[in-house]
Amino acid sequence: MLEIALNNVTDAIGATTGTGASNSKMDHLMTMPNYSYIFKFEDEFEHTDAKIWFNRYWTGCFYYVGIYMLVIFTGQQLMANRPRYELRGPLICWNIMLAAFSIIGACRTIPELVYVTRNFGLYHSVCVPSYIEDDKVSGFWSTMFVLSKVPELGDTMFIVLRKQPLIFLHWYHHATVLIYCWYAFTEYTAPARWFIVMNFSVHSFMYSYYALKAMHYRVPRVVAMAITVAQLSQMVAGCAVNLWAYQLKQNGEACNVSEHNIKMSLLMYFSYFVLFARFFYKAYVDRRAPRKGVDAAPAVPPISHNGTAKKVQ
Alpha carbon of 64 to those of 67, 76, 199, 243: distances in Å? 5, 18, 21, 30
Mean pLDDT of 173-193: 97
What local confidence, expressed as pLDDT, does residue 32 receive?
81
Contact 117, 19 (CB under 8 A): no
Provide the pLDDT for residue 291: 52
pLDDT the model gives residue 28 = 46
CA distance linking residue 162 with residue 63, whole number of Å: 25
Give the catalytic positions in this structure.
173
126-173 pLDDT, tens digit per residue, is 999 999 999 999 999 999 999 999 999 999 999 999 999 999 999 999
Of 25-39, 196-210, 243-257, 268-282, the one with minimum mean pLDDT is 25-39
- List of residues 6+ apart from 257 with CB closer than 8 A: 127, 187, 189, 190, 191, 245, 249
d(CA 137, CA 308): 42
Q: Spell out the domain ranges in the chain.
A: 47-285
227-285 pLDDT per residue, tens: 999 999 999 999 999 999 999 999 999 999 999 999 999 999 999 999 999 999 998 88
Predicted structure pTM score: 0.84
Q: Are 268 and 158 in contact (CB under 8 A)?
A: no
In a 13 Å sphere around the CA of 41, the CA atoms on its Cβ side amount to 4
pLDDT score, position 283: 87
